[in-house]
Structures are given as C-alpha cells and as structure tokens.
C-alpha cells in the first residue's frame, strides 16, 4: 500500500483509539477549538472524511456541514466506527495516482490525502485534550505535516479556521511545534 495512504489510515486508526476512550460524560466538554465541544470536533472530522470521500470518488468538492455535531448520529464512537469503515473501504480501492477535481484544481488522490491528514491528526489531539486523555500523535505524520505547515502557518490562521501560531520553545518536540503553528499549546 502507498505510504501516504498508509499514513492516513494510521492517523484515522489512532483517532478511533482516542474516540473509544472518551467517557460519555466528556462528549459535551469544551475542546481547544473555540466554541466547539468534543462532539463538534468529532462531527467535523466525520464530515471531513465525507468531503475527502467525495474528492476521491471524483465527485469533487462538497460544502462542509454548518453544524458539525449534526454529523454524529447516535453514539459517537459508533458513528466514528461506521465512518472509519467506509473510509478504509474507499482507501483500499483508491489508486493514489488517480487525478481528481479539487478546490485546488485537478490533483492526485495521493495529494488529497497528504494534504488532508492534518485534520484528523490535529483533531485527535483536540479530542484527547478535551476528554483529559493522554496521547501522542503519529510521529511520521507530524513530521510530514510540520514540513508542509511551517512555511505557511500564517495562511492557516488567515482562514479563520485556526488560531494564530504560538511561539514554541527551543526544545519543543516536533508535535509541540506543529501544534504551536496551529495555535495550540501542548503540555
């Protein structure tokens, strides 16, 4: 299997591990994403997977849901498990070199996954923080995202979807540096 596809699946699997550990009483806890609870973050990730599936299927971009919590039907862990199964099946049949329409023009499926992995990666941390769960992010995915984000962190904040970058200490780990670039304070 392609390295980018494998990385994406690893990140989704880790997110599922965190989701499975969130106690029912913590789903309404505030997350590091201003104004969002754990449920909103999970709904956003589920909706994001549906957007990625739309791109990979060649249907092109689709609008994000206005209320991300609406993507979680029923029990949150079960909703995630169903979405994960769907995405795993899609990725098993996706040719990484397939060219698909995207908001950035025609790109490869591999490019879509390499770019999109930042969302489930960082939101895994958001969910863990909100639920009080210790976790470490996938080091290889962190490295890949850090390389991509570092030169354009200001553009991420300009979208309004990320907080402005924070300063990271000189001895910060790659995970801490990536989180700081996306306006999150680790530790």
DSSP 102-125: ETTEEEEHHHHHHHHTHHHHHHHH
In this predicted model, what pLDDT tens digit does every residue of 93-124 receive, in sequence order? 999 999 999 988 999 999 999 999 999 999 99
Question: How many Å from the N-terminal Cα to the C-terminal Cα in the chain?
Answer: 35
pLDDT, mean over the chain: 93
Burial 92-113 (b: 16+ CB within 10 A, else e): eebebeeebebeeeebbbbbbb
Q: At what angle do helices 38-56 and 109-116 cross, to 10 degrees?
A: 170
User: Distance between CA 18 and CA 51 in Å, rounded?
Assistant: 22
Position 7 confidence tier, pLDDT thresholds 50, 70, 90: very high
Confidence of residue 187 (pLDDT cuts 50, 70, 90): low
What is d(CA 9, CA 84) in angstroms, rounded to the nearest whole number? 9
Domains observed in the chain: 3-117 (1.20.120.450), 136-187 (no CATH)
Tens of pLDDT, residues 16-64: 999 999 999 999 999 999 999 999 999 999 999 999 999 999 999 999 9
**Between 148 and 23, the higher pLDDT residue:** 23
């Amino acid at each position: 299997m392609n390295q980018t596809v494998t990385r994406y699946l690893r990140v989704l699997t880790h997110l599922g591990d965190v989701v499975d550990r969130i106690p029912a009483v913590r789903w309404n806890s505030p997350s590091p994403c201003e104004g969002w609870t754990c449920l909103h973050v999970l709904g956003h990730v589920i909706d994001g997977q549906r957007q990625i599936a739309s791109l990979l299927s060649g249907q092109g971009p689709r609008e994000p849901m206005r209320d991300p919590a609406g993507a979680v039907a029923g029990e949150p862990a079960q909703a995630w498990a169903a979405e994960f199964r769907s995405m795993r099946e899609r990725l098993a049949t996706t040719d990484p070199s397939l060219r698909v329409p995207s908001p950035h023009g025609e790109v490869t499926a591999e490019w879509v996954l390499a770019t999109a992995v930042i969302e489930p990666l960082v939101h895994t941390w958001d969910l863990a923080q909100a639920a009080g769960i210790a976790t470490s992010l996938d080091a290889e995915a962190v490295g890949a995202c850090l390389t991509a984000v570092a030169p354009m962190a200001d553009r991420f904040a300009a979208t309004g979807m990320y907080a402005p970058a924070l300063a990271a200490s000189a001895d910060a780990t790659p995970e801490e540096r990536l989180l700081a670039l996306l306006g999150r304070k680790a530790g």
